[in-house]
Amino acid sequence: MSNHNANLNFSHPPYKNKASLSELDREIEKGELRLRYIQLMRDVHKTLGKEDAIDLIKESEGIWKKLLS
């Protein structure tokens, strides 16, 4: 059995890196937004009913497409 001398460098852990923190913060924010979106769609469905909820969702998708173009 060979004995490898593996040195781990913990002087600069990846979570201390500013870019990594920004990316992590962004992923957390995206997850929170996804959860909020799901909650809103559930509330719309309960409040308006299936057909009106579908119409509203389609309309909102159209608005987003226009905003992104």
Tens of pLDDT, residues 29-41:
999 999 998 898 8
Compute CA distances 27 → 5, 19, 20, 30, 32, whole Å.
Answer: 36, 12, 10, 5, 9
Stretch 12-25: mean pLDDT? 70
The answer to the question of residue 26 being in a domain is: yes
The answer to the question of residue 62 being in a domain is: yes
The pLDDT score that the predictor gives to residue 7 is: 59
The answer to the question of residue 1 being in a domain is: no
Stretch 52-66: mean pLDDT? 89
pLDDT at residue 56 is higher than 70? yes
Map residue 65 onto helix, strand or coil: helix
Q: Which domain holds residue 48?
A: 18-68
The answer to the question of residue 24 being in a domain is: yes
Tally of domains within the chain = 1
The answer to the question of residue 59 being in a domain is: yes
Residue type at position 65: K
